[in-house]
A and B are shown apart, each in its own frame.
Chain A
């Protein structure tokens, strides 16, 4: 056993979700090589511990935590292994950040096919959660651009998987949250770009209906990226007002500054605001506004400033356009000390108007308006635990306080119920509140059953397990795996399950789901309540 392993077994390290509202103490290992991951599985088995992965800690909630157990921190497994600039195919270790990737490859005329709102996520992380970007409706999630991955499974085997070699594992492990195996390399098709810039069109909409019409127009005009920002505070006729940014790649030879704009200093986000204010101070300047009325003002000011701003199509560098969340370093600190959560849901397009309108109204009725709302357009994809549907997503940031905690929890549970009934989905990468019963009804037993049956084959002792898996699925995994095995016996199914119908009711949902957490380890410890009914 290496020194690091021994230290991790005795020393706990504090980790928190990016939103600062989920904490855990974990036994952290820092693999440098696939062999270290194999060794970690042995250690886990010897000590009866579970394993989960940590990329760069950008998940808002508990997605990358593993209380009391092993956490593989990939910050030291972050090399670009291979880059072929003719084909645009890059192979890299999971700990490499998107920032490293684009900074290294842009000079050769390539950009990432999909990016998250921050560039400090890792490749392993975005593939594990199958992240999406503002171009999801057209380019799909990250997984659509993965050509292959290498993964260590609980039996210590290193498997190389492509879409063709093992379609089942490929579509289950991408977006499988690290619950089937640990990625040790990922091969990705980069996107050829003909400029370091894209053409951006900003426009304002005075109400929610306008926002939808704006999205539809962008769709019809075939833009590459579309993202909406909504001011959640005004009601009545201004309910849902906001701004849309659409963007399009330059065609070859179209941008006169194509080559110079590839330079990194052109891409880097400005370090000062209004020329003089260092950006590192901004969160601190915004802190006095970190309450409901302050944020009403900030959102209003933002809307008005956009009104007088420029509405013409203008060029903007890729990094500056894409990484909005990186503009104000540590902006999350305005949510100190209790932190924030994000609740993001995905709705079929026919249901989106109704549910989103109601969601905004409910926030206002309860004085729990989101301080930052982002809306995007999506398409369905073939990954098993996919969050995207053909429709819209709505992401809301909420400050969590000791006073509003329960009310916020209740609100998100009601949102979840509305989403499930509308045939929508959730995104666990950002989640802190959704229940197993809701996820189950939204994804359907057929897909979840198959997923957990596959997990049982690959990881019979459930070694791959994190705080989120325990919170959301808990003991449900086994029951779902039984369902999956039973289903597999009935029909000899092909690898890729059909994306479950986006209907509200899942047939055969037992009225009582089993207790969520693992069995108590101390003989004196008794579960207070054996049955967990659906919430």
Chain B
């Protein structure tokens, strides 16, 4: 009756914190990211001297062909699956006047294509199982097209819409489809960013994600304060929005 979760993007930041949290909440966890040594470090700390709870698989989500094998092997290893969490993401710095199709593409490959690939694998399984939890980590950035990160914002908006569609397919089949919209969070991704209003740390973020999973939520802003703030921001007309000092 331990639950079994795969976390894609588990080698740092929110994914790492969530892996530790789930392992403390009675889950066996399968950790996926590119850096094996980081995964080993985290799994080693989770497992300590007890029976193993964490298993690892080094995988680059842009290798969409290899995803299924990696997924199947981890599911075998965990002897089943109850939750799939996709938190891998990239947000390379983008200059104010920079337009770089290659960079944009690299963002979409991880944040969108990789997400769809893994979430599809989970969805296919959970649909048959008639149970399961799919989590996609989007961002408050996906709620509006701010000028600072066009491709990143668009990638998160795409993920939100994809998650919503999955939910509309799977909700009647007993599957929870949860969109997480984190606000600014202190992780390696944001280490160089100076302005981080209302930022929380990765453990607080993992707490918010775990609670949203446990209460069967559809969408959750983490922390919750972003819900009213984003409601206001979303309602600002475009002509006004573009004049606002929001990067």
Contacts and interface: CB of A to CB of B under 8 A. Distances in A.
Interface stretch (A22-30, A312-320, A415-423): A22-30
8 contacts: A22-B80, A65-B80, A517-B79, A522-B70, A524-B70, A525-B55, A528-B52, A529-B43
Interface residues of B, number: 47
Interface string A495-535: 00000000000000000000111101110111111001101
Given A67-B79, A527-B52, A528-B47, A405 B26 contact: yes
Given A524-B59, A525-B77, 5 more contacts: A24-B79, A61-B1, A402-B213, A522-B70, A528-B46
Given A521-B76, A522-B70, A525-B55, A402 B214 contact: yes
B76 A532 contact: no
Interface string B120-140: 000001001111100000000
A12 B25 contact: no
A21 B2 CA distance: 9
Contacts of A16: 131
A21 B131 contact: no
Interface string B46-76: 1101111011111100000010011011111
Q: Which label, helix, strand, loop or mixed, suits the secondary structure of the A interface?
A: loop
A456 interface: no
A59 interface: no
Contacts of B39: 528
Contacts of A21: 1
Contacts of B1: 19, 21-22, 61, 339, 341, 400, 405, 408-409, 432-433
A139 B50 CA distance: 41
A344 to B, nearest CB: 14
A518 B75 CA distance: 12
Which of A61, A405, A525, A527 gathers most chain B CB within 10 Å? Answer: A525
A405 B3 contact: yes
A435 interface: yes
A409 B54 contact: no
Nearest to B129: A14
Interface string A467-494: 1001100000000000000000000000
B207 interface: no
A527 B73 contact: no
Contacts of B75: 67-68
B24 interface: yes
Contacts of A401: 214
Interface of B: 1-3, 24-27, 31, 36, 39-40, 43-44, 46-47, 49-52, 54-59, 66, 69-70, 72-77, 79-80, 82, 125, 128-132, 174, 213-214, 216
Of B26, B70, B74, most buried by chain A (CB within 10 Å of CB) is B26
A403 interface: yes
B51 A435 contact: yes
Contacts of B55: 525, 527-528
Contacts of B56: 525-526, 528
Given A515-B52, A528-B40, A520 B77 contact: yes
A166 interface: no
B218 to A, nearest CB: 15
A414 interface: no
Q: Which of B27, B57, B58, B76 has the most CB of A within 10 A?
A: B76
What 6 pairs across the A-B complex have the smallest Cβ distances?
Answer: A405-B26, A528-B43, A522-B73, A402-B214, A406-B26, A432-B1
Q: Identify which of A13, A25, A339 gathers the most chain B CB atoms within 10 Å of its CB.
A: A25
A119 to B, nearest CB: 25
A68 B76 contact: yes
Contacts of A65: 80
B73 A25 contact: no
B80 A67 contact: yes
B51 A532 contact: yes
Given A435-B51, A522-B73, A526-B40, A14 B79 contact: no
A25 B47 contact: no
Given A402-B214, A406-B25, A524-B57, A529 B74 contact: no
A405 B25 contact: yes
A25 B128 contact: yes
Interface in A34-78: 61, 65, 67-68
Contact of A525 (B49, B57, B125): B57
B221 to A, nearest CB: 20
Nearest to B74: A525
B129 to A, nearest CB: 4
A469 to B, nearest CB: 10
Contacts of A467: 79-80
Contacts of A337: 131, 174, 216
Nearest to B43: A528
A526 B26 contact: no
A435 B50 CA distance: 11
Contacts of A535: 50-51
A368 to B, nearest CB: 13
A409 B43 contact: no
A21 B27 CA distance: 13
Contacts of B47: 528-529
Contacts of B31: 528
Given A525-B70, A528-B43, A12 B128 contact: yes
Contacts of B174: 337
A81 to B, nearest CB: 35
